[in-house]
Amino acid sequence: MTFFGISSCARYDGHVCVDLLPNMLKGKAKQVQQLVVCLISLALSVYMTVISIQFTITQFEGGNTSIAIAIPIWVIYLSTCIGFFLMSYVYLRKLGSLLKKKAAQETGEEEAAC
């Protein structure tokens, strides 16, 4: 359940964070900081997706079953793949939203300058 919840936390900014720096920044510096954090989060979640897929494949090839509930162990580890994939999707959407907002502000600044 934890790995299904990580994408929801990413979507609604529910992860634990230190917000001292973001609260001090204004304007373009804050936008840059948000973009950097989003890119790092996206890169880490994509990396974890790949690693979890590789691990799940290893478990599938091993053919082990859970002793307690007698199902293939790879089925249990599939939740990590799904969770990290969904988290990657959320951060990709956030990145797109941040870039769209940045482009709209730049267009608005150009129109104001004319």
Show pLDDT as tens, one digit a residue, over the chain (114 residues): 777 787 777 777 776 666 777 778 888 888 888 899 899 999 999 999 999 999 999 999 998 898 888 899 999 999 999 999 999 999 999 999 999 988 888 777 655 544
Q: Where are the domains of the chain?
A: 18-104
30 contacts: CB under 8 Å, gap ≥ 6: 22
19 contacts: CB under 8 Å, gap ≥ 6: none
Helical packing angle, 73-113 and 27-62, nearest 10°: 160
Q: CA torsion, points 50, 56, 57, 63, in degrees to nearest 10?
A: 170
**Phi/psi of residue 112, nearest 5 degrees:** -70, -30
* Cα(42)–Cα(10) distance, integer angstroms: 10
